[in-house]
Structure 1
Amino acid sequence: MKKEILKYLKLFLGFFVCSLGIIIIIKSDLGFSPWDVLHQGISKVSKLTIGQASILVGSVVITLDFYLGERIGSGSILNIIFIGTFMDLILYLDIVPLSNGVFVGIFMMFLGIFILSVGCYLYISTGLGCGPRDALMVALTKKSKFQVGTIRNFIEISVLVAGYLMGGYAGVGTVITALFTGIFIQGVFKLFKFDVKSVIHRDIKSEAILLKEYIVNR
């Protein structure tokens, strides 16, 4: 049980680090992320709000993840809840200053992408399930001969182009995020000697069985 507790602590640490990276990217003040460009684009061509568009995209992506054989675990559900919660907490504490210039913004953008990549490693490596977008990256990496960085860049650029064509706003930071997130994630995974193809995530059913066994055997 101690091992499981440590695994969940690592999961939540990963969520917090991801959230910190995202806020640093936002505070760089250089543009939306590719996924937010997509959400904004969908909002412009429909009657949906950006928040509703985000939920719609997340639902479609998690369905696609399931179809591609990626397991939906507790980490998948907790990701949806706590990434946003930690982002709100970091914004409330106001611990990340807003960029006061282009060069500072570019530095913050790359720093944020690096921190986000470390967060992805921390929580994905627990094997407790990925968030919808990261699960898509993992699923496509497992099913292809391409490296994780190439797959991530393909996804980021694809959603950026789709969102832009629907009227979403793309800034310098958006392009940087689309081009470099995959490179940074692949570099961080190599740094920690983590092969994403080797991870077999537990689904919710498996975790329920483990919890039941623990309770029965106490």
Structure 2
Amino acid sequence: MMRRLVQLYAGLALYGLGIALQVDSALGNDPWDVFHQGLSRQFGLSIGVWIIIIGAVVMLAWIPLRQKPGLGTISNVILVGVFADLFLHLLPDPSAPAARWAYLIAAIVVGGFATGLYIGAGFGAGPRDGLTTGLAARGHSIRVVRTVIELSVLAVGWLLGGTVGIGTLLYAVAIGPLAHVFIPLLETKKPSADPSAGPSAGPQPSPEPLVGAGQ
């Protein structure tokens, strides 16, 4: 349990770092952070505060969908935004193109690794992933639901002034394969409640991430 908790909170911290690196690169954010940044630019408050607010609002949408949050879900809503703001404050702003690209590449790799840590800890889906799976459980395709949600928040975020660019595309292309590598590598083995039980009582595989650990 202690290892899983450390892994969970390390994953959330690193996910916040990945967000900060990608925002500071100014080469394009992932769709949800385009939205968060757009809200920040139009209505004030920091990107991290908007991550928390939108995460809480999205989690409220779980209620009619009958989704059950876990410790990881609650921690995700509160901490990813806190860590994103912390690292946005601490990281030096890159000015040279090479430094901006280094930030972007690091952001994508860190995001994939953080997803593996967070999902692998097995404490529940992020608020945005839960929304997607909850809607899909109503008879819709996960791929269609995910695409509609992400394109919607991307479009609204862009209209609000969030940064869309090559980083947005690279993140969308790379995060799935990276998560596919890191989740099995970092998945923790949870002991069976009944040691005498058969194989069916063993650990269940973690779900495939839909929009990223912190999303």
TM range (shorter): 0.5 to 0.7
Partner of 2:87: 90
Q: Find 1:123's aligned residue among 112, 118, 121.
A: 118
Q: Which runs of 5+ in 1 are unaligned?
A: 200-218
For 1:37 and 1:180, the matched residues in 2 are separated by 17
Secondary structure in 2 matching 1:99: coil
**One-letter amino acid of the counterpart of residue 106, structure 1:** W
**One-letter amino acid of the counterpart of residue 99, structure 1:** P
Partner of 2:57: 60
Partner of 1:16: 13
For 1:71 and 1:171, the matched residues in 2 are separated by 35
Tell me whether 9-18 or 132-141 shows the greater mean CA deviation: 132-141
Partner of 1:74: 71
**One-letter amino acid of the counterpart of residue 130, structure 1:** A
Give % identity: 32
* Contact 2:119/2:207, CA 8 A, preserved across alignment: no
Partner of 1:158: 152
Q: Find 2:207's aligned residue among 184, 190, 197.
A: 197
Aligned residue pairs, count: 190
Q: Please tell me whether residue 177 in structure 1 is matched to residue 153 in structure 2.
A: no
What displacement does 1:72 show?
0.7
Tell me whether 10-19 or 156-165 shows the greater mean CA deviation: 156-165
**One-letter amino acid of the counterpart of residue 74, structure 2:** I
Partner of 1:99: 94
For 1:76 and 1:33, the matched residues in 2 are separated by 20
After superposition, the Cα gap between the structure-2 partners of 1:21 and 1:42, relative to the gap in structure 1 and judged at 3 Å, is closer
For 2:10 and 2:99, the matched residues in 1 are separated by 27
TM-score normalised over the length of structure 2: 0.65
Q: Which runs of 5+ in 2 are unaligned?
A: 188-203, 210-215
| Deviations, residues 141-182 of structure 1 (Å, cap 9, x unaligned) | 7776657xx976664333112323455443443343345434
After superposition, the Cα gap between the structure-2 partners of 1:97 and 1:89, relative to the gap in structure 1 and judged at 3 Å, is same
**One-letter amino acid of the counterpart of residue 62, structure 1:** M
Partner of 1:188: 182
For 1:70 and 1:9, the matched residues in 2 are separated by 25
Q: Please tell me whether residue 133 in structure 1 is matched to residue 128 in structure 2.
A: yes
| Deviations, residues 97-122 of structure 1 (Å, cap 9, x unaligned) | 43333344234213212211211221
* Contact 2:120/2:186, CA 8 A, preserved across alignment: no
| Deviations, residues 25-83 of structure 1 (Å, cap 9, x unaligned) | 122232444223324556788xx545576555323321333444432122222222222
